[in-house]
Copies of this chain bind each other. A is one copy, B any other.
Amino acid sequence: MHRLKHTPLHTSQSSQSLQPLAGKKNSTPAMYWFKNLTRFTSPIKHHTKFTPTLFTLQHIHHFTTTTTTTGGGDTVAPSTSGLGPTTKTEKPRVVVLGSGWAGCRLMKGIDTTLYDIVCVSPRNHMVFTPLLASTCVGTLEFRSVAEPIGRIQPAISHEPGSFFFLANCKGVDAKKREVHCQAITDGLQTVAPWDFKISYDKLVIASGAEASTFGINGVKEHAIFLREVHHAQEIRRKLLLNLMLSDVPGVSDEEKRRLLHCVVVGGGPTGVEFSGELSDFIMKDVRQRYSHVKDYIHVTLIEANDILSSFDDRLRIYATNQLIKSGVRLVRGTVKDVQPKYIVLSDGTEVPYGLLVWSTGVGPSSFVRDIDLPKAPGGRIGIDEWLRVPSAPDIFAIGDCSGYLESTGKATLPALAQVAEREGKYLAELLNKIGKAGGGYANSGGDMELGPAFVYKHLGSMATVGSYKALVDLRQSKEAKGLSIVGFTSWFIWRSAYLTRVVSWRNRFYVAVNWLTTLVFGRDISRI
């Protein structure tokens, strides 16, 4: 323990560096403060008895007062701040809203010698969603499924005209060709959220969709979705807390069962994979690490229709049997109300729960609902076959937020990572083509020949059901014939396929290491 005490300046160097402020050009007081300090930092050589060289901030006192007494708001320029229209001496600017599969695949593919890229998103990383369920129980670490945008498109980090802004997009002005954003301060009290505008040459809306709650009371308050890393973290913390709470003396058996009842609503791939991971965790880790309460923990999967309805019938039988075998209870039902400790099904049944995970699919986000652009059936932003918003030149939309306009005669594509990724790739190539032909700037390139329209070819679906088992459905559509395989081979394909699709080598390496560690040492149960 050392109590901080004031000690006067005592080196010769520091007094030499005390220079008058007058005559300094291009230096704000705060800049001077820093420059002044920087001058102190030459290495010190002592050949006699050592006296550590530390300095006081005394001489910079009066420079810093102005900085520190200003509020959060007035350090920000008026609402005109932002990035204005590009000039012909700059590269044209592609503004990308969102950092999911569609936006990130697009950014990765954009030729940065042709364009500057500005990405606006409330998170600075892409989530490798197919592996998110595995992180909830510690099979994978959170960081292994998050890829920083700066790694996906390094130009964002160092190109003078390319940026990533941690912000929400509040609106699009298609006439002025600008987007209105609000910086995210994440509760930081010293900074007030502020608005800014970005002019675009090309705008790509890839803001994704929102988890559907169907207007059911209590879902947003009490259930946890499984779409972001912080959701997985919340699930993990709650699961481990409930495991520990149920072991504390004085808890009734009934309450233990409630605390350790994990209910998953929605039998799509996410719900099924999470249920499978959870039952793996229970069978392999809880039994060993929480043996006092192992008989109280159960998983129930509630689905109104068929589980994995997009998969081959044979695969669905297999998945159902696998889940049942590993102790997951499959219940057919519809939730009509969610209370803090129980859900109510439409037949009035009350089901107590300790952890409720909601994965019933997605619908249009409020941003998409409010945006003043023509909509496709289902409320998505309407696009043509080249992924353009026909009524608004220079605006494109990809991923879950977009859907074909009725006039195209094409059906809405499913809200899958695969679709989003393919659209991002296609649009990157299209924009590169436009840019090369000199049509990159706003109001140009509209009349050029775009080449073949986007065509989605389904490459197959995969899902794991726990216990080193997975499903791989390689049919092109639900009606088509094709290969569908189950079991360990399939699980191995699932892992390999994901491993090669995880974006960076760093994360591929981490995922492989995580899987190996889980296999050898079991899952991690520390609650941090």
- A124 and B240 form a contact (CB under 8 A): yes
Q: How large is the interface on A (under 10, 10 to 19, 20 to 34, 35 or more residues)?
A: 35 or more
Interface-centre pick from A123, A314, A333, A520 (highest chain B CB count, 10 A): A333
> Which stretch (A54-62, A104-112, A389-397, A484-492) binds chain B?
A54-62
Known: A55-B331, A288-B158, A341-B68. A360 touches B302 (CB 8 A): no
Asked if A525 lies at the interface with its beta carbon under 8 angstroms from chain B, I say yes
CA distance A288 to B345 in the complex (A): 53
Asked if A300 lies at the interface with its beta carbon under 8 angstroms from chain B, I say yes
Question: Which of chain B's residues have a CB closer than 8 A to the CB of A164?
Answer: 244, 247
CA distance A403 to B3 in the complex (A): 19
Question: Which of chain B's residues have a CB closer than 8 A to the CB of A142?
Answer: 528
Question: Which of chain B's residues have a CB closer than 8 A to the CB of A290?
Answer: 150, 157
Q: Which residue in B143, B185, B268, B524 is a CB contact (below 8 Å) of A524?
A: B143
Question: Which of chain B's residues have a CB closer than 8 A to the CB of A332?
Answer: 6-7, 9, 54-56
Question: Which of chain B's residues have a CB closer than 8 A to the CB of A354?
Answer: 190
Interface-centre pick from A43, A186, A290, A526 (highest chain B CB count, 10 A): A526
- B268 and A528 form a contact (CB under 8 A): no
Question: Which of chain B's residues have a CB closer than 8 A to the CB of A373?
Answer: none
- A313 and B50 form a contact (CB under 8 A): yes
Question: Which of chain B's residues have a CB closer than 8 A to the CB of A31?
Answer: 253-254, 257
Q: Which residue in B146, B191, B333 is a CB contact (below 8 Å) of A245?
A: B191
CA distance A330 to B13 in the complex (A): 13
Residue of B whose beta carbon sits closest to that of A354? B190
- B83 and A347 form a contact (CB under 8 A): no
Q: Which residue in B34, B362, B513, B526 is a CB contact (below 8 Å) of A257?
A: B34
Residue of B whose beta carbon sits closest to that of A414? B1
Question: Which of chain B's residues have a CB closer than 8 A to the CB of A504?
Answer: 521
Q: Which residue in B53, B191, B352 is a CB contact (below 8 Å) of A64?
A: B352
Asked if A188 lies at the interface with its beta carbon under 8 angstroms from chain B, I say yes
- A360 and B330 form a contact (CB under 8 A): no
Asked if A265 lies at the interface with its beta carbon under 8 angstroms from chain B, I say yes
- A43 and B506 form a contact (CB under 8 A): no
- A526 and B124 form a contact (CB under 8 A): yes
Interface 1/0 per residue, A1-34 and B, CB below 8 Å: 1111111010000000000000000001111011
CA distance A104 to B359 in the complex (A): 39
A-B contact pairs, 5 of them (CB 8 A): A1-B360, A44-B321, A67-B257, A146-B528, A189-B340
Question: Which of chain B's residues have a CB closer than 8 A to the CB of A167?
Answer: 248
Q: Which residue in B4, B46, B146 is a CB contact (below 8 Å) of A526?
A: B146
- B303 and A54 form a contact (CB under 8 A): yes
- A76 and B28 form a contact (CB under 8 A): no
Asked if A166 lies at the interface with its beta carbon under 8 angstroms from chain B, I say yes
- B345 and A56 form a contact (CB under 8 A): yes
- A183 and B6 form a contact (CB under 8 A): no
Asked if A316 lies at the interface with its beta carbon under 8 angstroms from chain B, I say yes
A252 to chain B, nearest CB (A): 5
A369 to chain B, nearest CB (A): 15
Residue of B whose beta carbon sits closest to that of A351? B57
Known: A245-B188, A249-B82. A347 touches B306 (CB 8 A): no
- A28 and B510 form a contact (CB under 8 A): no
